[in-house]
Amino acid sequence: MKSFLFYFRLYYCQWQLKKLNLSLFLALPIITLFLFSCGNRYMDKKIDLEKNDKITVLQKYKAKKYFILHDQQSDMHLYNVILDEFDKKIKAQTSEIDDLHTFYKPVAGQNSHLYKKKLGDPKSEIHLYTSSPIYTDAKNSVQIPLDKIDSIIVHQNDTGHEVIKVVGITAGTLVVVTAIIALTKSSCPFVYSNDGTLFTFEGELYPGAIRPSMERNDYFQLKHLKEKENIYRIKISNELKEIQYTNSLNLIEVLHSENSEAMIDQNGKIHTIQNPISPFEIMIENQPSDPKIVENSDNNAIHFNAISDGLEFQTLKLKFNRPQDKNQVKLILRLKNSYWLDYTFGKFYKKFGRSFNEFQKKNRNQPYEKSLKWMKEQGIPLEILIKNNEEWTLIETLNMVGPLAFRDIVVPINLKGNSSKPFEIMLRCGFMFWEVDKVAADFSENLPVIVNNLQPFRAIDQDGNDVLKFLTEKDDQYLVQPNIGDQVYVSFKSNSEEIKEGKVTVFLENRGYYEYIRNFSGNPNKSELMTFRNPGTFAKFSEKMYYEFTSGEQALEELAIFDVAK
């Protein structure tokens, strides 16, 4: 039996995480150490525009930084910034620079500068320099050709080394965001869709397919995609330390009635949603909770991090009112994997030390069934179970969807032979591996839809090469993106001009796999690694690390270093 102190610590951690924003809870000890050792200094970082695409750089900072333009005549603030990749221009409104961004004047010949936060934070700025005069129109709008931007400078902490920062999203979600984590996270190719003007991040391709034998079809909606001149455009980019192999890309254009929504299941089948209902009761780890948590798409998610008394996996149970004579239901989920799962995988792989690449090579062609069996035993996929006559039956196992964006997924469930009222389901996974934002059920029949499968007709990579032949068929030809910064722009012809009534929803069908690039050091911890063959060990490892992290022990270990010069 566990000691009173153990349980007290667990409940105390949970109480603290509900009371405080996790970013403060984790960051305060780190920030305190940092301030005592370094003081407030910032340094100028000039972006290498020969190695970094301007659009990519500006897109990265657009939502985070205060834009300041310096031309031959004056300095001005840019806001409502639009990055037009087709016209190769920055479009923005202009204004005078706010006083908080005028206090600091860098000293000539010095790259490092002191500052006082109460007078403004220079680290929030990005500076664009041009030797060409830039003119505003009558509405104080400006259009700046990208080739006129001579240099870009951002300000950042000058610590000699970068401290790992841990940012929280309340209720226990951990988002490990630094240069180190961002470039070593366990993710997959990023996809952006064009809304007619700019590209917006949509999600990740074939998440979790980390070796050739795990290659699979993956489907999700492109919510920001709009056609321009009858053309759909998307961008696929490698922004992580991995080699990405994309086999095929296709769009699924669905025409459906105005009074319905179209959704896709993980097998690529289209379903229509007309009358979704929310659960009237939910239980988190057998404890009643407010069903409103999963009622709306508001990022207020269930994190599967409840305190459990020795249970192997975390559970969320939901009850829905079931109409008479309905033997089919569509379960609607808005969910994603957690950043914590990413972080846990990183810590797990690090235990292989210098043997990691050998391990990855050895398992490259491991049968998919064996990989899936291990993942299921560790609680990595999300399991969906249905209750009938007091027994739970597994009906679906959801593949990983990645941590960077929520996905909307529909799961069709056959209720024939199930007489239970109300309708009751259970979601089950390992500790903090998933986040579920919304759950609903729709008992309506699927409506007729028109489905157009669109193959790409143009694909151009970052060097201007035509790579279309690698993306049109599911074959042994792959678009290989081995380097950070590799991109491909893919175009599809739309059929929307033929649509007279109804509305269109577009989904991306993608297929491929990716492999990590890691350079761990040290000897493998063989005895501990052997324990991960046992069911549930990875989930227990996640939970143990979480409580170490929230107690401060792991957070202090993460004070290690990243050389900004690298």
In a domain, 309, yes or no: yes
Dist. CA 430–CA 514, nearest whole Å: 23
**273 and 124 assigned to the same domain:** no
pLDDT of amino acid 112: 52
The last residue of one of the domains, among 393, 424, 442, is 442
In a domain, 34, yes or no: no
- pTM for the model stands at 0.69
Task: Give which of 355, 307, 374 is closest to 6, Cα–Cα.
Answer: 307
**421 and 292 assigned to the same domain:** yes
pLDDT of amino acid 113: 61
**273 and 156 assigned to the same domain:** no
The last residue of one of the domains, among 387, 418, 442, is 442
In a domain, 151, yes or no: yes
- Does residue 62 come out as left (phi exceeding 0), alpha (psi in the -120 to 50 range) or beta? alpha
In a domain, 557, yes or no: no
pLDDT of amino acid 498: 66
Buried b (16+ CB within 10 A) or exposed e, 372-406: eeebebbbbbbbbbbbeeeebeeebebbbbbbbeb
The last residue of one of the domains, among 107, 130, 160, is 160
Domain that holds residue 436: 261-442
Contact between residue 304 and residue 380 where contact means Cβ atoms under 8 Å apart: no
pLDDT of amino acid 14: 46
pLDDT of amino acid 122: 76
Supply 216's token pair.
């699979």
**146 and 289 assigned to the same domain:** no
pLDDT of amino acid 182: 45
pLDDT of amino acid 154: 86
Task: Give which of 480, 510, 6 is closest to 217, Cα–Cα.
Answer: 510
pLDDT of amino acid 165: 32
Q: Concatenated DSSP letters for 86-142?
A: TTTEEEEEEEPPPGGGTS--PPTT-SEEE--GGG--GGGEEEEE-SS-----TTSEE
Pairing of the two strands 66-70 and 125-129: parallel
In a domain, 96, yes or no: yes
Q: State the total domains in the chain.
A: 2
In a domain, 564, yes or no: no
CATH number at residue 406: 2.60.120.260
Work out the angle between the directed axes of helices 4-19 and 22-38 (0-180°, nearest 10). Answer: 90
DSSP state at residue 262: E
In a domain, 425, yes or no: yes
pLDDT of amino acid 459: 96
Task: Give which of 246, 196, 333, 211 is closest to 508, Cα–Cα.
Answer: 246
Give 10-residue mean pLDDT values along the chain (566 residues): 44 43 39 40 78 86 86 86 87 85 54 57 85 88 92 70 32 36 62 92 94 95 94 94 95 96 98 97 91 92 82 92 92 95 92 92 90 95 95 96 95 92 95 96 96 96 94 94 94 81 95 92 92 94 84 51 32
**421 and 284 assigned to the same domain:** yes
Dist. CA 436–CA 285, nearest whole Å: 14
Task: Give which of 496, 517, 515 is closest to 505, Cα–Cα.
Answer: 496
In a domain, 350, yes or no: yes
